[in-house]
Structures are given as structure tokens and as C-alpha cells.
Amino acid sequence: MVSFNRNIHTNIQSIAGHFKFTARGPLNTNNVMRVKLPKAPAHTNIEDSKWDNDSHTLLLKAPNKPEGVKVDIQL
């Protein structure tokens, strides 16, 4: 995973076809992440997302929040 935010919460989970984590960053900035996955996701809770089939990565963009942005990617 590559991320342009303050940090990724250390509690990254991969459970039953879901990849879940919390990304934190300062207000008034954008959270931009690229996550390498084995296949295209069936669903993600982040509205601004784009799958790249050549690199098998998912681009996610969301406004940062100090309390964190909860990310749930369903495979």
C-alpha cells in the first residue's frame, strides 16, 4: 500500500474477503492511497475509487480526518 496521509492505523485486517483499515490525516487535506490487490474489488466504501487492471491496484481518494477514514474493501 502507498498512502499520502499522516499514517495508516496499525490494525489492518483481512477477514472473510474484506480488507479493512483506518487512515488518518489532517483536516483540509486529501487522502490518496493505492492498494495492491489480487483481483478487482467487488465493493469499497470509498466513493472516489478506481481499479487499474494492469497494476492490480485500487486508487482511493477521500478527505482526511484526524479521527480517521475507515476503509473497507470487499474482494
pTM more than 0.85 = no
Alpha helices in 17-68 (DSSP H): none
What residues pair up with 33 in beta bridges, in sequence order?
3, 60
Q: Are 49 and 58 in contact (CB under 8 A)?
A: yes
Query: Is pLDDT of 64 > 80?
Result: yes
Q: What does the alpha-carbon distance between residue 70 and residue 56 come to, in Å, rounded to a whole number? A: 22
pLDDT at 61: 96
